Amino acid sequence: MLNDLTWNPLAAHARVLDALGTLGTIDERMARVGVSRRAFLQFCSSLMIAAPFGLAITDKKTPEDVAAGLGKVIRPPVIWLAFQDCTGCTETLLRTSHPDLGDLILNVISLEYHETLMAGSGMQAQQALSEAVERYSGKYICVIEGSIPTRDKGVYMKLAGRPAMDVLAEVGGQAAAVIAIGSCASWGGIPSADPDPTGAVGVADLLPNKTIINLPGCPPNPYTLLGVVLQYADSGTLPEMDAEKRPKFAYDRDIHEHCPRRAHFDAGHFVKQYGDEGHREGWCLYEMGCKGPDTHAGCSTRHFNEIPDVWPIGIGAPCIGCTEKSIAFRVPMFKVVQIHTLAAPPSTYAPINAPQGIISPLATGVVGLAAGALAGAGYIASRKFSTVKDDESTPGSSITAGKGQPGGESQSDRRSDTGPDSGPGPGSKNQP
Ligand code: SF4
Ligand code: SF4
């Protein structure tokens, strides 16, 4: 157990606020709130699973190395603002499978302001925000959750009487770096879906000259946030990012390439309807509109709440492409996507060779007699039923010189069938 307190976000936050002015190292904080070494190592292991490479604090290290390095880091001050959001991104940080772990997360960082978690409200809350901005100006990390309304001078969302746009400009403008957590803060998300009544945009649209890190997802994995924040606190650097300002360590993977249902895609086993036999058997959700082939995220290998298979496809729901700016809340949920990668079901498979055993001469003779009788019967039957020479429709006739066999269609030939113009193979009949 991390400590003897019953899990309570408010109590956890009170302990964080208690350290204001004396941030201290993570080791000092762990000792002060009674976190065991074992629990801290568990946290470091989770961080390593979330960032197997590409994150300086975990790269090529053991959990002990990570714990030793992180222990010396000064807890980074974080100011968290929530705009047009559903609070799902906050929930993902708090709802770990072990409440103690959620508590630990709030102790690794120094959360100076977070409306959902803090006890204060009204003037008290405003004062806490002003003080935190002033005290850590230029040194804190500003986390933004939710999109920002811009239509009609931002009147659709105000904080203490000021449009969210103005609050973002002031608080985000003085931060060392701004992290847009979730799809809403990254590029508008749900509030920006058609007809977008509030003119919702993401952080990067309003702070074009600021260092921004986008962590899209609905919600994103909390360890991705922690990885970025802790690397920054440790070395003042940020992990390598892609063109969409997403850290590569968490967004370099294509869901489809690492999906546990991929074998069913390759075999052409598709769910046709929720609750059908294929759905119950865990078949591929491509024809149900799964956007996995066009989506970069780590969900297929880094599940949620530290519970195996807890992620959309794991529980039988298609991926909606929430980490992609042009897909989630833009493309209809049941519309199938084109397959752009080499990933398409093969038209056939290489033969599987049964292991060769030692067969006795007697058994060989018996099998030979039986095979001879069957072959004779088969020949007579074929003379009766097949009158067309080299009939292509005869079952098995395409196998002898067909696709995928020696002399048949090559792998590259098949891949060329998967281009945008030719459709994805089994799902092509569903292409609009
Ligand atoms: S990204 Fe998703 S979880 Fe996060 S605030 Fe938006 S709707 Fe909620
Ligand atoms: S289409 Fe979706 S469910 Fe099917 S293998 Fe790809 S990612 Fe998995």
266-274 mean pLDDT: 94
Percent of the chain with pLDDT over 70: 72
Compute the distance from residue 53 Cα to the ligand 1 centre, in Å.
26
* Mean pLDDT lowest among 169-178, 206-215, 218-227: 218-227
What does the pLDDT read at residue 261? 96
361-380 mean pLDDT: 46
What does the pLDDT read at residue 330? 94
Ligand nearest to the CA of 259: 2
What does the pLDDT read at residue 348? 63
- Structural domain total, the chain: 2
Task: Please say whether the beta carbons of 141 and 74 come within 8 A.
Answer: no
Looking at the fold, whether 138 and 161 belong to one and the same domain comes out as: yes
Domain-embedded: residue 288: yes
Q: Which amino acid is at 341?
A: T
Domain-embedded: residue 21: yes
Q: Is 290 in the pocket of ligand 2 (CB under 6 A)?
A: yes
Looking at the fold, whether 83 and 102 belong to one and the same domain comes out as: yes
Looking at the fold, whether 157 and 285 belong to one and the same domain comes out as: no
Q: Is 219 in the pocket of ligand 1 (CB under 6 A)?
A: yes
Compute the distance from residue 166 Cα to the ligand 1 centre, in Å.
21
Compute the distance from residue 329 Cα to the ligand 2 centre, in Å.
19
Q: List the structure tokens of 368.
A: 């030979």
What does the pLDDT read at residue 92? 87
Higher pLDDT, 141 or 53: 141
What does the pLDDT read at residue 53? 81
Q: What share of the chain is helix, strand, coil (3-state, %, to 5)?
A: 40, 10, 50
Looking at the fold, whether 102 and 195 belong to one and the same domain comes out as: yes
84: which DSSP letter?
Answer: B
Looking at the fold, whether 81 and 221 belong to one and the same domain comes out as: yes
Q: Is 293 in the pocket of ligand 2 (CB under 6 A)?
A: yes
Q: Is 273 exposed, middle or buried (0-12, 13-18, 19+ CB in 10 A)?
A: exposed
Domain-embedded: residue 355: no
Looking at the fold, whether 232 and 296 belong to one and the same domain comes out as: no
pLDDT band at 358 (very low <50, low <70, confident <90, very high): low
Compute the distance from residue 216 Cα to the ligand 1 centre, in Å.
9
DSSP-assigned letters across all residues of 315-339: GT-----TT-TTTTTTS-TTPPPP-
Q: Reply yes or no on whether the pLDDT at 8 is more than 50.
A: no
Q: Reply yes or no on whether the pLDDT at 285 is more than 80.
A: yes
Q: Pairing state of beta strands 162-163 and 158-159?
A: antiparallel
Digit-coded pLDDT (tens) for 150-203: 999 999 999 999 999 999 999 999 999 999 999 999 999 999 999 999 999 999
Q: What is the CATH number of the domain that holds 410?
A: 4.10.480.10
Q: Is 183 in the pocket of ligand 1 (CB under 6 A)?
A: yes
Looking from the CA of residue 285, the nearest atom of ligand 2 is: 3
Q: Is 106 in the pocket of ligand 1 (CB under 6 A)?
A: no
| Domain endpoint, select from 225, 249, 273 | 249
Looking at the fold, whether 140 and 171 belong to one and the same domain comes out as: yes
Higher pLDDT, 363 or 47: 47
Q: Is 95 in the pocket of ligand 1 (CB under 6 A)?
A: no
Ligand nearest to the CA of 183: 1
Domain-embedded: residue 414: yes
Domain-embedded: residue 46: yes
Residues of the domain holding 311: 253-350+404-432
pLDDT band at 46 (very low <50, low <70, confident <90, very high): confident
pLDDT band at 360 (very low <50, low <70, confident <90, very high): low
What does the pLDDT read at residue 200? 98
Q: List the structure tokens of 430.
A: 């569903």
Domain-embedded: residue 4: no
398-423 mean pLDDT: 35
Q: List the structure tokens of 395.
A: 């079952």
Digit-coded pLDDT (tens) for 294-303: 999 999 888 8
Task: Please say whether the beta carbons of 175 and 139 come within 8 A.
Answer: no
What does the pLDDT read at residue 354? 57
| Domain endpoint, select from 249, 281, 308 | 249
Digit-coded pLDDT (tens) for 89-126: 999 888 776 666 677 788 899 999 999 988 888 999 99
Higher pLDDT, 411 or 247: 247
Looking at the fold, whether 174 and 320 belong to one and the same domain comes out as: no
Higher pLDDT, 47 or 277: 277
Residue nearest to atom 1 of ligand 2 (CA): 286
Domain-embedded: residue 129: yes
202-219 mean pLDDT: 96
What does the pLDDT read at residue 263? 94
Looking at the fold, whether 29 and 72 belong to one and the same domain comes out as: yes
Domain-embedded: residue 62: yes
pLDDT averaged over every residue in the chain:
79
What does the pLDDT read at residue 393? 37
| Domain endpoint, select from 195, 223, 249 | 249
Looking at the fold, whether 268 and 340 belong to one and the same domain comes out as: yes
Compute the distance from residue 302 Cα to the ligand 1 centre, in Å.
19
Compute the distance from residue 83 Cα to the ligand 1 centre, in Å.
11
What does the pLDDT read at residue 272? 97
What does the pLDDT read at residue 408? 35
Looking at the fold, whether 34 and 51 belong to one and the same domain comes out as: yes
Looking at the fold, whether 214 and 191 belong to one and the same domain comes out as: yes
What does the pLDDT read at residue 350? 62
Ligand nearest to the CA of 284: 2
Q: Reply yes or no on whether the pLDDT at 314 is more than 80.
A: yes
Q: Give the C-alpha separation, 328 to 250, whole Å.
A: 18
